[in-house]
Structure 1
């Protein structure tokens, strides 16, 4: 049997524990009064980087409770913002119907079905030099007509290769086009954007209209982009507007031997037993712009896509958005190159700001390194992987605030200027 000794009715082990606690407290007081210990502790605290989360952890429970209430309000704001963008989509649909007659007339001028009147073709440039040159050319034409009435200038129908020229002018699109795609794209007569009907899930359709050709029987090729405008339940604070979440293409009815999305290869096979050799042919995928109409499907079963698939899908979303927001509304300016100059100026401004910010960060890191040599070189940038680039943009935000674009489909990175649809100026 265990022997428990008592002192004045108190167990001896309790007395011993109290003595140890008292000694520990005295030792702690002595240590905390040591200047060297305090200096070392302060240095350790100073070396710990300050983060918002670390600051929040130090706040009293009552303050944290109020912060949680603010987050509840923020979620409600996100849902109101989602409704705002739904109404923006309705406005886009409404005004798309008003723009369409102008776009239809644009197509007639491009195809040559209708010849513009003198009043319709009159254009006053803001550039005085261009106006003077235009006047000189007009006078020269009059003189030339009088001197050589029989010499006629070639007068092709409409505007030849209008859309194909846009594809060549825009780097993001030209990088998708292979040499064997070019003869097909020369038959492209129009590109249209159609919005989903009222009451239907948010989406838009790109329609590529072709004249009869030797390559496929379709007169229209379509690409549908599905969107959503609601905060993610798992991460409501990430909501920034409608996102493209998936897309569907269409079946191209290729004529015999004209399918540029596949190629036929020959392969020799040797029989292991008899040693005979035979040649077999099989079709394999081929790089082509027309793969645009056979897109990857976004994973709907919760499984994540591989790195390359995420990159391609994110790029596809970006191109669809670019057609909708820029190419179709401002086609003539991409044909002449004026819109491309505007885009380049926009990108140069963004790059300049980014370089300036990076320079500031590097300077701060160098100062930190001098103060504390043990701190790593945080100024050195690690190359961003394609996984990070694609996963962060996989679901592309559509209208709204300016953002940096994703890399082009099967192409290198390229920034795209985004514009609020409410402020967007349409051109023909």
Structure 2
């Protein structure tokens, strides 16, 4: 007897089966057992062929070591160009904190042609700007530099704003600059983030630092896992808090009942408090629990993001323009993933929705 089942019926049965917890559990157990297991093809090869494959592996290890040297030279280039960027970043800092007033020529920014306004609209905006300027003159308002520049940057970036607490904001209003310093040529690869603060009532430090130690060499135990420099650990710094101003700690009151006498007393305890400034006291390496490992992984991501994106493009995160670019990149990546999923779908017609190679390799 031949059993014929339509495609629609087969799909319906599959959906019903996948909704059965017992079937799902059995399937997951089977997949777990297959994870990382070889296909069996290598075992079927003749000994002489396996010997040649081993030679290819040894060549691959040598490639990994050459790649490590490549990244070391990239680090040298980063150090070289950091010195070229620094005068521009220093001038940026001077403008932000009000130590330097840019000239009219330096402030002249030509808008994109797509954003040009009509003549009437321009006149209307000029008149409005004139009235606002007159109002400011009457009120004698002359803010120094660009107030709350770095705090605004932090608020605009989700990765950083998630770390901010309300009690952090008054402190970050005093943040004047963030710099990155690379390790010297004869030292192990690392970079240090420097947060420069003006004098404030919260702590006496002028600079808070966070150093990330890196490694750019294949692991002898697993050389094929090498994929460029890795952050191996990080160290923060001690913050010299003014008495009563430490936002990384909070005081709580808890009632305790005496076992013998039955009396109740109130005990005051100091416990850790959520704060951006915990960033300068990361978990120490070694045997970490899952929560600490997650915190450390997030810390690495944040440090890398500040170094690679925030410091070089701070003004664009202040205005929000860089955030729009980041969102566009994310949406493009998601579209690429969705298109790839469609291609893997059995019903996907490649003649209708072929994916350009440039999208799949981004």
Q: TM-score, normalised by structure 2?
A: 0.80
* Counterpart position of 1:110: 96
Matched residue of 1:208: which SS? strand
CA–CA distance in structure 1, aligned partners of residues 169 and 136 of structure 2:
37
* Counterpart position of 2:266: 279
Kindly state the Cα deviation for residue 293 of structure 1 after the two structures are TM-superposed: 0.4
* Counterpart position of 2:9: none
Q: Report 1:2-401 matches (<5 A).
A: 53-130=39-116, 136=123, 139-140=126-127, 151=138, 154-299=141-286, 303=287, 305-361=288-344, 363=346
Greater Rg by CA: 1
* Equivalent pair of 1:230/1:239 in contact (CA under 8 Å): yes
Matched residue of 1:325: which SS? helix
Q: Which has the higher helix share?
A: 2
CA–CA distance in structure 2, aligned partners of residues 244 and 276 of structure 1:
53
Deviates more, 1:140-149 or 1:103-112: 140-149
CA–CA distance in structure 1, aligned partners of residues 303 and 133 of structure 2:
50
CA–CA distance in structure 1, aligned partners of residues 132 and 112 of structure 2:
28
Distance 1:139 1:309, change over 3 A: closer
* Equivalent pair of 1:124/1:131 in contact (CA under 8 Å): no
Kindly state the Cα deviation for residue 268 of structure 1 after the two structures are TM-superposed: 1.5
Matched residue of 2:269: which SS? strand
Q: Give the total of aligned pairs.
A: 313
**Residues 262-296 of structure 1: CA distance to partner in whole angstroms, max 9, x if unpaired?**
11011122222222222110101111111000001
CA–CA distance in structure 1, aligned partners of residues 58 and 282 of structure 2:
38
Please give the root-mean-square deviation of Cα atoms over the aligned residues, in Å.
2.6
CA–CA distance in structure 1, aligned partners of residues 197 and 266 of structure 2:
38
Matched residue of 1:155: which SS? coil
Kindly state the Cα deviation for residue 358 of structure 1 after the two structures are TM-superposed: 3.5
CA–CA distance in structure 2, aligned partners of residues 146 and 180 of structure 1:
33
CA–CA distance in structure 2, aligned partners of residues 161 and 142 of structure 1:
22
**Residues 214-260 of structure 1: CA distance to partner in whole angstroms, max 9, x if unpaired?**
11111111000000000011111111100001000001111111111
Unmatched segments (≥5 aa) in structure 2: 1-33, 348-361
CA–CA distance in structure 1, aligned partners of residues 232 and 118 of structure 2:
51
**Residues 147-182 of structure 1: CA distance to partner in whole angstroms, max 9, x if unpaired?**
999646733111110000001100111111011111
* Equivalent pair of 1:125/1:131 in contact (CA under 8 Å): no
Kindly state the Cα deviation for residue 298 of structure 1 after the two structures are TM-superposed: 2.2
